[in-house]
Amino acid sequence: MRRFLRFLVPLLALCSALRAAEPPPVTRTEVIYGRKFGTALTFDIVRPEKPNGYGILFMVSGGFFSSHESIDGALRGGLLTPFLERGYTVFAIVHGSQPRFIIPEIEVDVHRAVRFIRAHAAEYGVRPDRFGVTGASAGGHLSLTLGTQGGPGPADAKDPVDRESSAVQAVACFFPPTDFLNWREEGDDAVGVGVLKDFKPAFGPRSDTAESRSVYGKEISPIQFIKPEMPPTLIIHGDADKLVPIYQAEKFLKKTQDVGVKAPVKILRKEGNDHGWPNMGPDIAVTADWFDEHLRGVKP
């Protein structure tokens, strides 16, 4: 149960790990970006006093559970402070949560959110061609999902928003799952079983048999979608992580090298740290540095 809670709400772990600090002055607006079975899907726009014209998409997700309250915790805990202090407008994206919705349905939500923000970029005061994305754990998985699979929607989509691109231009995330079929080593199946058996609701009925998991696991693993044109990507991962092993980040990095990814891909290894660690503030600042360099062209 302790392991389950830590994976389910890593945002709370992150916030508690940060040193308390007064958040910078912001304005905050809730926006509906879609609906599922009559339920509104929302993101919060968090604007600093002096916006720099660039947007950071924050995946509000832990264990593929998302809640508006987690945004409050992220603001109070200082999780968004490095971005806001540098003038980034943050879009805190809430998605449909497990157990009602499973991972592929959640991925659809975040693609829709990016398309919606891009369609309204002028209204929000951000550049539509320079989005960064960040998140931790499941939020990191969704960040890499956008980084590896973001792209134009169907040209014949009924809703013009769905024709927009869900591509992002930089990724910086924490301890993300990247390959559910090879979790701690080659052949270690974690598609709702093994290490992740407590999270089976997020995977749904296709995780019931080994045969279906072998196909399904590829469909939801960002490592399967790495391409040479993917954006600059930073992964920060503790090498003592017992839940999402650093093997996930290392395997992802190796695959980018094998594929010949043109943009920089980097792992920042945190020695002796588990799934979250004390005083993560400097590491959040490192992700802001990454966006400064790869979105704005400003060397840290």
- Find the domain containing 117 and state its range: 2-296
Strand order in the sheet with 170-174: 26-36, 39-48, 89-94, 55-60, 131-134, 170-174, 233-238, 265-270
Per-residue pLDDT tens for 36-71? 998 999 999 999 999 999 999 999 999 999 999 999
Q: Are 135 and 61 in contact (CB under 8 A)?
A: yes
Q: Does residue 16 surpass a pLDDT of 80?
A: no
pTM: 0.94
Q: Does residue 25 surpass a pLDDT of 90?
A: no
Per-residue pLDDT tens for 216-256? 999 999 999 999 999 999 999 999 999 999 999 999 999 99
What phi, psi does 216 have (nearest 5°)? -60, -40
Report the candidate in 135, 103, 295, 98 with the shortest Cα–Cα distance to residue 217. 103
Q: Are 252 and 178 in contact (CB under 8 A)?
A: yes
Q: Does residue 210 surpass a pLDDT of 70?
A: yes
- Residue 39, classified by CB atoms within 10 Å of its CB into exposed (0-12), middle (13-18) or buried (19+), is exposed
What phi, psi does 115 have (nearest 5°)? -60, -40
In this prediction, residue 9 has a pLDDT band, given cuts at 50, 70 and 90, of: very low
CATH code of 224's domain: 3.40.50.1820
Q: Which residues of 212-244 are buried (b: 16+ CB within 10 A; e: fewer)?
A: ebeebbeebbbbbebeeebbbbbbbbbbebebb
Q: Which helix (H) or strand (E) holds 105?
A: helix 103-119
Per-residue pLDDT tens for 103-153? 999 999 999 999 999 999 999 999 999 999 999 999 999 999 999 999 999
* Tokens read off for 215: 């196909």
Number of domains in the chain: 1
